[in-house]
Structure 1
Amino acid sequence: MKRRIFELLIDRYRQNKASISERRLIDHWYAGLDSEKVPDDKVDENQLWERIQRQIGNTSTRRVPIQKMLYWAGAVAACLLLCLSVLFWKTASHEVARKEAFLQPEYRIFETGVAQRKKVQLADGSTVILNARSKLKVDTVSFGRKDRVVELLIGEAFFDVKKDSTKAFIVKAQQLETTVLGTSFTVKNYTELDDISVSVFTGKVQISGNGGRIGILERGDQIRYFKNSNASRQENFDLMTRNSWIEGRVYLKQSTFAELAVAVRNIYDVDLKAANTPISQQLYSMPLSRQLSWPATLESIKAIHHNKSRKEGNKVLIY
């Protein structure tokens, strides 16, 4: 049996089919024959087989350093690949940051006139409805890259925000900042009014002002932030009538003369003024609608506190 194995090795060697280890085995065996004295009599096959086995052992011993070299070469290659990957990632990140730093803002202004309302669809799928005499500012380049930031320059707007837990939706209105992830709310910021208000219809919003957090609002909550004093007041509001302006109607409930004047300007384009301080401090509860003529509305306004009116140029003075 041993002879048969030896013959098979020799045969594979001659046909150039032997593996590297088999060729080394035969080469070592031949080299050993050159240095040894071969007797004339028949070689004992057992001794020959033992010699081949010794050669196999020697060959295996010599292969160990090569395996170690291959192992370390692979390890070095892996380390180099890792370093190159990190370098490429850092370079790419730096390049992206550099390009974003040089992006120039492109502002778009959405605005409405007297007795106008406008629906604005933002790039993230959020919807904004602007009341009369309102302006919304959007940077179309930066919007949605990190956060979704818009600015209500003036007026009133209802925001129905598309939910996105990775990008906050932020509405700026002078000193006030409203932050949400996905909800619906209204921000009111007219220059004629002393306050900025935020009213929440669904979800939850965070209100900040002058670098600090003012409060958290939920459904039915409203906050009034007073521009001059930086004070704020949280209260409830009527969910059914708060946004009636979207349908062209306004319901005033214990509203100030200034709020009445804003509603009149938005609907009728009439500049309503109080003749004195007592008139300016009066409160009004009444509906206003474009379907009702201005003369009829003016009579209703005067009847509440038994006031009178006169026209002075483009103004209507209440006294």
Structure 2
Amino acid sequence: MAIDRTLLDRFIHHQCTPEETEQVSRLLQESPHLLDDYLQEMWEEEVTVQMPDKMAQAIAAHLQTGAGAVTPEVSRKRHWIGWAAAAAAAVLLFLCVGGWIFQQGRHTPPNNLLVVATAGKNYRLVLPDNSTVWLKANTRLEFDTIHFGKSSRTITLLNGEAFFDIQQDAAHPFVVVSGAVQTRVLGTAFSVRHTSTKEILVTVAAGKVAVDHHQQQLDVLLPGKQITVNQQTGHFSEQQVPVWLAAAWKESQLQLDNASFADLKTAMEIMYGVHLETTRDKVRRQTYNILMNRYMPPREVVHALGQLNRLAYKQLNDTTFLIY
């Protein structure tokens, strides 16, 4: 079986129809060797520009970690034509086999890679500096493949929510741009939420970050601090939150220790999409210890809460439980 080179080129540049996109994705899933054929053709073309070391290492790392993916040698001595486009193609095709969409859109700057996490699933991305980004479903971000790591490490979060675990590098600050808000770090772990509303939400899990609005610093945040910024006005508010709140949406398990009822409610909503209600002050004042597994049925978790804390419960509807 072969795959049309022109169709793949159009797929990489986000020019396929929905039907063609589905066709290419299905072919790559059914026949991973097609990736090898396509990359071999691309990498054998005559070239004039050498691929930078960091990008070569990053592409090799991506290709080595994929199930069923090929691992072509990435040589620093060999010259590649349009290596940035080749990098985009390699990562695009590999990640499509693994469930990602990795595209260079027609409205994206030529050196930028646009990463799109598809609906219904969170994804993990390792950047050229070995920093790790987890994208929540329906999240988009992009970065410049040529200039990333030269003077700074800049990522643009176009929409959605992402959790960042950043490698320390004082000479190259890491910056997340989300609309008019910039989050600057040296080495830390934090999340940024950029939705269709006017607000940007930054939550720190470790280290510290500086949050700016139009290059003016608003505050420096420590672990457990959350800031909400109005993109238009720059007005912001801060609150103290559990450190696990920054990353709970991407975890399969969450351990609560001496959590308040308010934090328990938040954890249940994030992990299971269910709401807890109560009419008793005793329930609100109590603290809770429980290990939550995302794959347990919510009713079993609520039952365990009742057993551990000598509380009763009633299921009001598909998504709401009354604790008393």
What TM bracket, shorter-length normalisation? 0.3 to 0.5
What's the TM-score, normalizing by structure 1?
Answer: 0.46
What's the TM-score, normalizing by structure 2?
Answer: 0.46
Greater helix fraction, Structure 1 or Structure 2? 1
